[in-house]
Amino acid sequence: MKAIEVITTARLHLGFYNFLESNTAYGSIGVSIDRPVARVVVKPSKDLVVNNFTDVKVEDVVELVTSKIGISNIEINIYSAIPRHVGLGSTTQLSLAIAYAINKLFNLGYSIRDLAALLGRGLVSGIGTAAFEKGGFIVDSGRFLNNNKILHEPKKGDDLPRVVYWAKLPRNWYFITIVPMNIQGLSEREEKRILSLPKKPPIEFQYELYKTLLLEMIPAISERNAKKFGKALTKIQLLTGKYFSRHQQGIFCCKETETIVNLLLKYGVYGVGQSSWGPVAYGIIDDRKKARIIMNNVLRELNNKGIKEYMAFIAKPNNRGATVKVVG
C-alpha cells in the first residue's frame, strides 16, 4: 500500500527588519536548521488512525489538518516531532508535513503556500512556510495591509509573506541552541492578539533595522563572515526585543532566556538571539569544537544558577526544504 513520508526540520526566527511602513506590516528574517526533525508517514485507511510515537502533543494539529482538507480516511504516523511552543516553529512544520503528505497521497494539487494559508499559517511571518518549501536563510516581504490597520489571516497562498531574499548559509556555521525547562512562549491566540494590530515605531528605529539587514547581515553571508553576521544578528535581536518588550519581560521573554543569551556571549559566540517568543535562545559560531565547548560551559553555569535545560543541541543550517518520498 502506497504511503507518503515527509521529513522537515525546525527553524529559528532571527527577528524583524520592519514593523509598519508603507502599508506593509512586519518583515521577518529566519533560518532553517537541521534539527530537531519532524517525520510523518501518511497512508490510506478505512478510518482516521493516528499513531503518535513522540511525547509531543499533536491532537489539535491533526484535527485542524484533517478538518480543513476534508479527508480523514487515513493513517497518520508521527515518528518524530519538534517540541511545541518553545520558538522552533513546530506547529507550522508539523501541520504542513501532515497536510502535504495527504496532498501528495490523494493528488489534491495544493501548493505549499496554499496549504499554509488553508491551515491559518503566515499571519505575520512567512519564514516557517518558506523553510518547509526551500530551507536556507530567508527574508520575507511582510504582509500588505491595504489601508487596513488590522492584520487578518491569509485566505490564499498569495496573501502570505513572499520570500524577497534567500541564500544558503555556510555549513560550517553552527547554532548553539538551548531551551530552558518549564517555560513556554506565548500561545498562538496571545500572539494573534498582539500582532494583528501592528504599531509603527520611530523612523530612526526602522532605518537602523533596514541598514543592519541590507548593509551588514546580507553582505556577511556572501562574504561567509560569521562574525559580521553575528554582530548584525545581535543588533536586530535587541531592536526586535525592544519593540516587543511591553509584551514580555523586557528584551527577552524571561530571565532564563536572558541568562542564556548573556552566557553565550560571555563564552565567545559571535551573535545571539531569541527565536519567536522564546524561550529558546541561540548563539552562532563557525567552529564545531568551539561550539561544543561553549555549550558545555553555558550548561554548567546554568546548572550552578539553578536553571535547567529542556533541551540543548548544536544545529547546522538546513539549506533545502522538506523531503517527500513514497514509502512502503
Q: How confident is the model at residue 308 (pLDDT cuts 50, 70, 90)?
A: very high
Given this model, what pLDDT does residue 249 score? 82
In whole angstroms, what is the distance from residue 273 CA to residue 264 CA? 10
Closest-CA residue to 174 (of 8, 317, 35): 317
- Backbone phi, then psi, for 194, in 5-degree steps? -75, -45
Look at the block and give the residue holding cell 538571539: 273
64-73, 244-253, 260-269, 279-288: the lowest-pLDDT one:
244-253
Find the helix or strand (DSSP H, E) in which 191 lies.
helix 188-195
What the block records as the C-alpha cell of 263 is: 552566557
Closest-CA residue to 19 (of 247, 240, 252): 240
Region 301-323: mean pLDDT is 98
Predicted confidence (pLDDT) at residue 148 exceeds the cutoff of 80: no
Q: How confident is the model at residue 1 (pLDDT cuts 50, 70, 90)?
A: low
What is the chain's Cα-based Rg? 19
The yes-or-no answer to whether 3-167 and 174-315 have a common fold is no
Distance of CA 56 to the CA centre of its chain: 17
3-167: CATH, from 3.30.70.270, 3.90.1150.10, 3.30.230.10, 3.30.390.10:
3.30.230.10
Given this model, what pLDDT does residue 153 score? 86
Predicted confidence (pLDDT) at residue 307 exceeds the cutoff of 90: yes
Predicted confidence (pLDDT) at residue 134 exceeds the cutoff of 70: yes
Given this model, what pLDDT does residue 194 score? 86
CA distances (Å), origin 2, targets 5, 44, 231: 10, 8, 48
Region 189-197: mean pLDDT is 85
Region 4-30: mean pLDDT is 97
How do residues 73-114 score in pLDDT, each as one tens digit? 999 999 999 999 999 999 999 999 999 999 999 999 999 999
Given this model, what pLDDT does residue 150 score? 77
In whole angstroms, what is the distance from residue 94 CA to residue 103 CA? 14
How do residues 212-259 score in pLDDT, each as one tens digit? 999 999 999 999 999 999 999 999 999 999 999 999 989 999 999 999
Look at the block and give the residue holding cell 496573501: 159
What the block records as the C-alpha cell of 234 is: 545581535
Percentage of the residues of the chain whose pLDDT score is greater than 90: 90
Count of Cβ atoms closer than 10 Å to residue 296 Cβ: 12
Amino acid at 308: K
Region 310-318: mean pLDDT is 99
Find the helix or strand (DSSP H, E) in which 180 lies.
strand 174-180
Contact 226, 285 (CB under 8 A): yes
Which architecture, in CATH terms, is 174-315? 2-Layer Sandwich (3.30)
- Backbone phi, then psi, for 217, in 5-degree steps? -70, -50
pTM of the model as a whole:
0.96
What does the domain layout of the chain look like in residue ranges?
3-167, 174-315
Q: How confident is the model at residue 188 (pLDDT cuts 50, 70, 90)?
A: confident
Given this model, what pLDDT does residue 56 score? 98
Given this model, what pLDDT does residue 189 score? 82
Region 20-30: mean pLDDT is 95
